[in-house]
Amino acid sequence: MSDAYIALADGRVLEARCRAPGRTRGELVFTTAYTGYEESLTDPSYEEQVLTFSYPLIGNYGVRADRFESGRVHPRAAIAREFTESVATWLESEGVPAIDHIETRDLVTSIREEGAMKCGIVAGEDVTPEDAKAELAECKAMSDHVDIGSQVTTPESTTHLGDGSYDVALIDCGAKGSIISSLNERGADVHVLPCTVSAEDVAEIDPDVLFISNGPGDPANFTNAQSLVEEFAGELPIAGICLGQQIVARAFGGDTEKMAFGHRGVNQPVRDLDSGRVVMTTQNHGYTVSEPGDLEVKQINVNDDTAEGLASEELGIITRQYHPEANPGPHDSLDFFDDVLAMAEASEPVAASD
């Protein structure tokens, strides 16, 4: 008898091996990355999801805390063909269920064909397929997690010092730590603010740039962050990464939609429409900008033509759907942070017309 089961929304229940015990549920997704498992597992954008690694062996180079993107593991559970002992021990210490000895090629194929799906997982002694089905029955759709921002945002404002060259107000919708360090390395003092922060509190900082971070879930549920973009449009340069791009687009009359299985991995090609240059990028998102509104699409995904970069030169706005901080992943797009801070040095954006 197996000591782990996963119940899928397509009706199947699969047997597995328990590597870290527990019972949970979430949206089943996969990543194609074969390195960067520490960064992926600590990425707040995976909140309320179950992460499947398509690469068969996870844990080749151990676990080091200096690679973490946040203070905890965010996926509800982790799945691999095989986890090393170091990763399994880490996940167990975090209270995050982990299962392996499962055919992940088949699982990934199912997600690609049917889309990201709900699942229930049980692992440990005396678990049954019925237990996994019970977890599945309680699983909510990602769009129904209306307060997901409160699960990942900073509980209070903090400041991370660069050399004082710039002040960046980072609205934390689930920010990766490497976004902060990328800005610090370029001289910016980064003020990390809760995603529920008021416009008055942002104004008190007198920032040079308003930056909307990455994060989990449906961008339509981050209404306060969207209102901040609307409030400061034309007054401050505005930047966004991942969820941040989607929020900025919605603030300018655009729209977003859920993707079938999203983009998650370190090998996503993106074309810049002005230069024709193609870069390889790190990505982790399940929603995309379907209509850019008043913004211009500047970059697209080579595989499916979805919007990867938006801009408005007049209003001082630049966004990226992928993760230019490159943790994990290629360094092709690190110059994004230089472009963001260059906006702070430029003349003030022209106010939006009524």
pLDDT of 266-306, one tens digit each?
A: 889 999 999 999 999 999 999 999 999 999 999 999 999 99
Q: Is 341 annotated as a binding residue?
A: no
Compute the mean pLDDT over every residue in the chain, rounded to the nearest whole number: 95
* DSSP letter string, 116-174: SEEEEEEESTT--HHHHHHHHHTPPPGGG-TTHHHHHS-SS-EEE---SSEEEEEEESS
The pLDDT value given to residue 330: 66
The answer on whether 170 is annotated among ligand-binding residues is no
Looking at per-residue confidence, does 334 or 95 come out higher?
Answer: 95
The answer to whether the annotation marks 246 as part of a ligand binding site is yes
pLDDT reported for residue 329: 63
Per residue in 106-160, pLDDT (tens digit) is 999 999 999 999 999 999 999 999 999 999 999 999 999 999 999 999 999 999 9
Q: Hunting for tokens 């290629």 — which residue is that?
A: 330
Show which residues are catalytic.
242, 323, 325
Is the per-residue pLDDT at 347 higher than 90?
Answer: no
pLDDT tens digits for 234-252? 999 999 999 999 999 999 9
Domains present along the chain, CATH in parentheses: 4-140 (3.50.30.20), 148-345 (3.40.50.880)
